[in-house]
């Protein structure tokens, strides 16, 4: 008797599972992010938590702080009004794209360069920060620029960042060591696992502020224009992000936020980022 019952129930359960799965797949694509954000009065932002100056977890408060976080808060208020809430989800260079595509976050504001390859997978806002690729080395290192990355040198980069391919292109002879996030990349540099760390100048200046034994060298060897990424097809949401960005640039709020984080960073020209 029991066996016969399962014969009926099992296929039904499987069917239910399948339709639920299909429903999930559809819901991300068919969702309208701007409408959802207005209804919940919340925008869910993917931000870095390992990147000083842009998005870094403050261990005392448990809050993530930085330029990207402040800009996300300001954009949220522009879009949803003064009571609008910005919620933050921690991402890394490697996890940001899958988290967006799965619908776990509404947008990525996490030191993310607009590249043709990424544009095939997500849509980007207008440029909100102009960075450039550089190198961080220990004081006294013989490496002064990418030209010194010859055979026998090793450069640390972060997985999912633009620098795996970019270091290889600029210095084909060097070895590249990929790590999971910026905290472990900096720790690896300090423990001598590589001769230099390569990523965007702003991120590297953030590290040199944390440890004065390390400095940024050689100027920039790539252009890294940052954009806010949204899922493909979210045209209304992207438009409202762009409108908010222009407004914040016009009314001085953008400059205020940029100066707060980069105004006092020795060697970094905050005027060049806008
Ligand atoms: N801007 C570069 C990128 O999007 C490096 C910074 C990062 O890893 O987020 O890959």
What is residue 49's predicted lDDT score, i.e. its pLDDT? 98
Low-confidence ranges of the chain (pLDDT < 70): 1-27
Give the pLDDT confidence of 235-274 residue by residue, as tens digits: 999 999 999 999 999 999 999 999 999 999 998 999 899 8
Architecture of domain 131-224: 3-Layer(aba) Sandwich (3.40)
State the distance from the centre of ligand 1 to the C-alpha of 125, rounded, in angstroms: 16
What is the C-alpha to C-alpha distance for residues 10 and 80, in angstroms, rounded to an integer? 46
What is residue 21's predicted lDDT score, i.e. its pLDDT? 46
Give Cα 192 to chain centroid, integer Å: 26
What is residue 18's predicted lDDT score, i.e. its pLDDT? 46
What is residue 23's predicted lDDT score, i.e. its pLDDT? 45
Residue 158 contacts residue 178 (beta carbons within 8 Å)? yes
What is residue 27's predicted lDDT score, i.e. its pLDDT? 66
Whether the domain at 33-128+227-269 and the domain at 131-224 fall into the same CATH topology: yes
What is residue 54's predicted lDDT score, i.e. its pLDDT? 98
What is residue 28's predicted lDDT score, i.e. its pLDDT? 75
Find the length of the chain: 274
pTM comes to: 0.90
Give the CATH number of domain 33-128+227-269; options: 3.40.190.10, 3.30.360.10, 3.40.120.10, 3.40.50.1970.
3.40.190.10
DSSP class of 187: H
Spans of all domains in the chain: 33-128+227-269, 131-224
Counting ligand 1 atoms within 8 A of each CB, the residue from 93, 131, 220 with the most, and so the one to mutate, is 93
HSE-up of residue 67 (Cα within 13 Å, Cβ side)? 26
């Amino acid at each position: 008797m029991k066996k016969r019952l399962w014969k009926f129930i099992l296929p039904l359960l499987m069917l239910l599972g399948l339709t639920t799965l299909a429903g999930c797949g559809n819901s991300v694509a068919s969702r309208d992010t701007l409408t959802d954000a207005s209804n919940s009065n919340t925008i869910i932002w993917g931000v870095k938590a390992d990147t000083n100056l842009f998005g870094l977890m403050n261990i005392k408060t448990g809050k993530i702080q930085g330029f990207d976080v402040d800009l996300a808060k300001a954009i949220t208020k522009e879009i949803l009004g003064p009571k609008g809430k910005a919620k933050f989800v921690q991402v890394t260079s490697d996890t940001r794209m899958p988290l967006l595509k799965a619908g776990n976050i509404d947008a990525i504001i996490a030191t993310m360069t607009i590249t043709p390859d990424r544009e095939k997978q997500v849509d980007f806002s207008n440029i909100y920060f102009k960075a450039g690729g550089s190198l961080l080395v220990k004081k006294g290192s013989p490496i002064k620029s990418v030209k010194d990355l010859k055979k026998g040198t090793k450069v640390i980069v972060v997985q999912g960042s633009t620098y795996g391919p970019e270091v290889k292109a600029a210095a084909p002879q060097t070895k590249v060591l990929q790590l999971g996030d910026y905290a472990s990349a900096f720790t690896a540099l300090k423990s001598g696992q590589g001769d230099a760390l390569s990523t965007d100048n702003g991120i590297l200046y953030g590290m040199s502020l944390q440890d004065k034994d390390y400095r940024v060298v050689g100027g920039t060897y790539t252009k890294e224009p940052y954009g806010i990424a949204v899922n493909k097809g979210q045209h209304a949401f992207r438009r409202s992000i762009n409108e908010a960005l222009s407004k914040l640039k016009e009314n001085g709020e953008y400059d205020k936020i940029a100066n707060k984080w980069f105004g006092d960073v020795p060697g970094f020209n905050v005027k060049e980022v806008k």
